[in-house]
Amino acid sequence: MNPTALAAVSDYLVAARWFGGKGREVTAVGSHRAGTLEGDADGSGWPVVGIELVTLEYPGAEPLERETYQVPLAYYEKEQDRLGHALVGAWEDDDLGPVFAYDAVHDREAAALYLRAFDQAAGGDVVRGELTFHRLPGHVLDLESHSTLFSGEQSNSSLAFGEDALMKVFRKVTTGRNPDIVIHEALTKRESDHVAALYGWLELAPPDHTDEPVQLAMLQQFLRTASDGWDLALASVRDLFAEADLHASEVGGDFAGEAERLGLATAQVHDVLAEEFPTESWGAEDLAAVSDAMLTRLEVALAIVPELAEFADPLRQTFRGVASLGASGQSATAQRVHGDFHLGQTLRTVKGWKIVDFEGEPAKPLAERVRPDLVWRDVAGMLRSFDYAAHAVEADVQVEADAGSQIAFRAQEWADRNTSAFLSGYVENSGRTSEGALSPEQDLILRAYVADKAVYEAVYETRNRPSWLPIPLGAIARITQPATHLDVTEANDA
């Protein structure tokens, strides 16, 4: 890519919603065209889709920090008025000559080339330059379907093909197998009911220095009629607040049944992941490392959120309790988990709950995102999500002081009810629990993970939404009360 093209692509990239380095000084230091997809929609031989990988560098970072972003471009010989909103620039391309370049995910003609290549891969891998399209058997793609770009995504770009398939284009890419593809492949082959089936994926051949590929996109089942779990939870809370004198269990929008079914789905996914991927037994050293990491995050948070100070000692005691389990001879089983689990990572369909986005926290390095962890991290993430759903709606309700205290009570009642329901669905169906209940050791670890998540949230809200800081602080106040527990029974393995 010549300097003119690289400058135009860089300007487009850093302004995009999915760019993760906003607010930082950045320089584009190189690019690589991994391959092309060639079309002939109108007999002209255009568009040509170039799979462009752009390398960025952050000046002044120690150590040197580089990132690679994928910017697929739809190249045309002539300007396309219909794609004016997605224009990246116009330049002389070394291979194609004078071109107008557009972000390919906005172009239906370009998207059709992806779908065609995935369809051809049903007969065996399709290679385009350094690119390989892979397919899993069992689904016939609808080549007549048109693409629609999803709006609002933070880190990737997703295209729906009619009612048939969904393609996720990974924007920030790195060497190594993407956990979203790896886990979806495993669960699809096990015929799990709790994920959208994986149809295929696109990857770049491994660089010379590694055996690991760079995975660029995945194609999966499109859950057209699905409802977002977060939106459903918010609707349930609003229904509760609209009923002046009913409890959470009495309103028409009671969510507890859904929360329990979501707990079951989560448990069954965890159990399959434990069977499909290696597990580790975490003893004293590992649990001490978990405890130390929580304590370190707390000390950092105390310098940012002064309001945490009154809870510092009981939080330290909670986090040190994890290390004490290992010191007393207890162990815990670590395995592959979701890693960034909350209501926004779930979809409710007519056939039940589906769990999505197994990529983990995008800001973390790949090595951290694929590292085994305790399932209680995922469970804690979901419990915090229930609490947020209740109190986020509460924060938006403008009422008199007396009514406000009643609203606060009802919000907490909703959160507690759905926390209990989710835990019930999880522990009664999980291979990790004994006799359908948490052991004291599991309860201790779960409380620590919930508190650690709330500490993280307190930092986030302080920096981004100070008016919401009372939500995580309230959770920390409750969980650090003496004798607080989520569920306790006798068992041996944490």
151-164 pLDDT tens trace:
866 789 999 999 99
| Residue 129, pLDDT score | 87
| Residue 485, pLDDT score | 55
Domains of the chain: 3-221 (no CATH), 227-337+372-479 (3.90.1200.10)
Q: How far apart are CA 287 and CA 445, in angstroms?
A: 10
Q: Is the pLDDT of residue 244 over 80?
A: no
Q: Of 139 and 482, which is predicted with more confidence?
A: 139
Q: Of 39 and 92, which is predicted with more confidence?
A: 92
Identify any residues that bridge with 227 across adjacent strands, giving them in sequence order: 348
DSSP state of 123: G
| Residue 51, pLDDT score | 97
21-35 pLDDT tens trace:
888 899 999 999 999
How large is the angle between the packed helices 229-242 and 401-427, nearest 10 degrees? 140
Specify whether the CB–CB gap between 265 and 353 falls below 8 A. yes
Q: Is the pLDDT of residue 489 over 90?
A: no
Q: Is the pLDDT of residue 265 over 50?
A: yes
Q: How far apart are CA 355 and CA 345, in angstroms?
A: 6
Query: In the chain, what percentage of residues exceed pLDDT 70?
Result: 93
| Residue 290, pLDDT score | 97
The predicted model gives 105-109 an average pLDDT of 96
Q: Of 97 and 405, which is predicted with more confidence?
A: 97
Count the helix, strand and coil residues of the chain and give each as a percent rounded to the nearest 5: 45, 20, 35
70-105 pLDDT tens trace:
999 999 999 999 999 999 999 999 999 999 999 999
176-207 pLDDT tens trace:
999 999 999 999 999 999 999 999 999 998 77
Q: What is the pTM of this model?
A: 0.90
Q: How far apart are CA 61 and CA 74, in angstroms?
A: 33
| Residue 426 pLDDT class (50, 70, 90 cuts) | very high
| Residue 350, pLDDT score | 93
Average pLDDT over the chain, rounded to an integer: 91
The DSSP secondary structure of 404-473, one letter per residue, reads HHHHHHHHHHHHHHHHHHHHHHHHTT-TTSBTTB--HHHHHHHHHHHHHHHHHHHHHHHHH-GGGTHHHH
Specify whether the CB–CB gap between 397 and 239 falls below 8 A. no
DSSP state of 371: S
| Residue 22, pLDDT score | 85
| Residue 140, pLDDT score | 96
- How would you class 238 by CB atoms within 10 Å of its CB: exposed for 0-12, middle for 13-18, buried for 19 or more? middle
| Residue 491 pLDDT class (50, 70, 90 cuts) | very low
- How would you class 357 by CB atoms within 10 Å of its CB: exposed for 0-12, middle for 13-18, buried for 19 or more? buried
| Residue 242, pLDDT score | 81
Question: 345 Cβ partners below 8 Å, 6+ apart?
Answer: 229, 338, 355, 356, 357
Strands of the sheet containing 214-221, edge to edge, are 126-128, 131-135, 198-204, 214-221, 165-170, 156-161, 147-149
Q: Is the pLDDT of residue 235 over 70?
A: yes
